[in-house]
Copies of this chain bind each other. A is one copy, B any other.
Amino acid sequence: MNVEIITIGDELLIGQVIDTNSAFIARELNRIGIRVFQITSVSDSRRHILAALEEASRRAPLVLITGGLGPTRDDITKSVFAEYTGDRLTVHHETLQRIETMMSVRCIAMNPLNEKQAEVPSRCTVIPNSCGTAPGMWFEKDGVVYVSMPGVPFEMKTMMQDEVLPRLRQRFHGGNILHRTLLVTGIPESALALRIEDWENSLPPHLKLAYLPGGGMIRLRLSAFGDDLQTLAAQTEKEIESLRVILGNHILSEADEQIEEIVARLLTEKRQTVATAESCTGGNIAHLLTSIPGSSVYFKGSVVAYADEIKENILHVNPDDLRRYGAVSEQAVTQMAASVRKLMDTDYGIAASGIAGPAGGTPDKPVGTVWIAVASASQTVTKLLHYGNNRESNIQRTSVAALNLLREMIHH
């Protein structure tokens, strides 16, 4: 079964805000076998919202909408819904009470705009918002179901998980979708495509392959569409088995996960710990490692040594080496990795030093030159990387490469 997502807000169309809601909604719907056919972002304009609702309803029996439910004047979604369904706005008393309680807990005085937030089209079913003032709404017109949620991501996420998904599961029984994702590394996209060409050609039509390159890896996603989930699982497993033979240790993982999740799992399994000594990545490797719940099991800490004096004084990098080889050198990262490992008493030490850019390059070491190192009790492995001029991308790719180097060391 198809569904459409409409996200409402001028901020999306001028690029001030990136629409992260759609991806979340799509993922959650996929889990219950509902496919998103199209995502449409429209402005806070009555005519535009009406047109989008009309068009979406011609393509799909279910339309999910986010945004435009705030207390302010630019939020017009509710009155447009009332117009669309030939309804009028009335105060929903339970919602009003909920808002009053919420405001009094936060010691904020009620005002007329808060009261207006309790207004909904009279014939809609209100979906409670446990995290904010704006209520969600469920309404139907000519056999199409419309679900409206707030645009604030964490309010939408909670409402989606606690309220909307259970109702959708009850109301719609979609066909099933099963996704399998392999993380592939160490082979360019086109070479990968050629290597698995025969395999790909022999796939049955209800299995679909996609290549998603990014961050120094390629995610290969195999999607299976059908009625019986067990059959789909068996069919995809059979195909994945063939891929395992073809790709061998180019396969980094068989889950759709980030490198920091892989490393977190490995370290937790082996009860090993890690610390980082970061220059150009500025704490981003530590940030990635601690973005995983439970990271205190394997992560002890970091020294972000941005200034050379910190490299000398806290990480004890030899000042002569810094002068002779520079802070972006194999010598520097080797000492940084070994030193932070010792300082924090961990099994592994990760170090990164490079020129993130956009300025700071030299003829010898242009912007994008990066050294990384991982130290264990028995050895220190280093790697020289060459990236481009984009600071954000250099920091991110260096972090992924350093975590991948750690992954390889844990394995060997």
A contacts, CB < 8 Å to B: 9-20, 22-28, 30, 35-44, 48, 52, 55, 70-74, 108-109, 111-114, 117, 131, 133, 152, 154, 177, 179, 181, 188-191, 193-194, 200, 208-214, 219, 221, 223, 256, 276, 278, 281-287, 289-291, 293-296, 299-307, 309-310, 314, 343-345, 356-359, 388, 390-393, 395
Q: Are A307 and B302 in contact (CB under 8 A)?
A: no
Q: What chain B residues lie within 8 Å of A109 (beta carbons)? A: 191
Complex CA distance for A71 and B196, rounded to whole angstroms: 13
Known: A16-B256, A283-B284. 20 other contacts (CB 8 A): A9-B210, A10-B223, A16-B27, A16-B212, A16-B221, A17-B214, A19-B23, A37-B48, A38-B52, A55-B55, A70-B211, A112-B194, A113-B194, A154-B388, A276-B283, A283-B304, A293-B357, A293-B358, A300-B307, A301-B307
- Closest CB of chain B to A169's CB: distance in Å? 17
Complex CA distance for A289 and B283, rounded to whole angstroms: 9
Q: What chain B residues lie within 8 Å of A190 (beta carbons)? A: 71-72, 111, 113-114, 117, 133
Could you list 7 examples of A-B contacts with CB < 8 Å?
A: A12-B26, A14-B27, A14-B179, A15-B30, A282-B291, A283-B304, A293-B357
Q: What chain B residues lie within 8 Å of A10 (beta carbons)? A: 208, 210, 223
A286-B283, A294-B359 as given contacts; A38 in contact with B13, CB under 8 Å: yes
Q: Are B306 and A303 in contact (CB under 8 A)?
A: no
* Contact residue among B18, B35, B200, B293 (Cβ-Cβ distance under 8 Å from A13): B35
Q: Are A154 and B390 in contact (CB under 8 A)?
A: yes
A19-B19, A190-B71, A213-B152 as given contacts; A301 in contact with B303, CB under 8 Å: yes
- Closest CB of chain B to A294's CB: distance in Å? 7
Q: Are B282 and A287 in contact (CB under 8 A)?
A: yes
Count of this chain's copies in the oligomeric assembly: 2
Q: Are B37 and A43 in contact (CB under 8 A)?
A: yes
Complex CA distance for A154 and B357, rounded to whole angstroms: 15
Complex CA distance for A27 and B309, rounded to whole angstroms: 40
Complex CA distance for A209 and B289, rounded to whole angstroms: 40
- Closest CB of chain B to A350's CB: distance in Å? 12
Q: What chain B residues lie within 8 Å of A26 (beta carbons)? A: 12-15
A213-B70, A303-B302 as given contacts; A39 in contact with B40, CB under 8 Å: yes
Complex CA distance for A108 and B190, rounded to whole angstroms: 10
* Contact residue among B48, B283, B358 (Cβ-Cβ distance under 8 Å from A287): B283
Question: Which residue of chain B lies nearest to A115 when distances are taken between CB atoms in the complex?
Answer: B190
Q: Are A300 and B289 in contact (CB under 8 A)?
A: no
Q: What chain B residues lie within 8 Å of A282 (beta carbons)? A: 286-287, 289-291, 295, 299
Question: Which residue of chain B lies nearest to A390 when distances are taken between CB atoms in the complex?
Answer: B154
Q: Are A189 and B108 in contact (CB under 8 A)?
A: no
- Closest CB of chain B to A365's CB: distance in Å? 15
Q: Which of A17, A133, A177, A300 has the most CB of B within 10 A?
A: A300
* Contact residue among B39, B48, B300, B302 (Cβ-Cβ distance under 8 Å from A12): B39
Question: Which residue of chain B lies nearest to A358 when distances are taken between CB atoms in the complex?
Answer: B293
A70-B213, A73-B209, A282-B287 as given contacts; A344 in contact with B193, CB under 8 Å: no
Complex CA distance for A200 and B10, rounded to whole angstroms: 17
Q: Are A210 and B303 in contact (CB under 8 A)?
A: no
* Contact residue among B221, B291, B306 (Cβ-Cβ distance under 8 Å from A299): B306
Q: What chain B residues lie within 8 Å of A72 (beta carbons)? A: 189-190, 193, 211
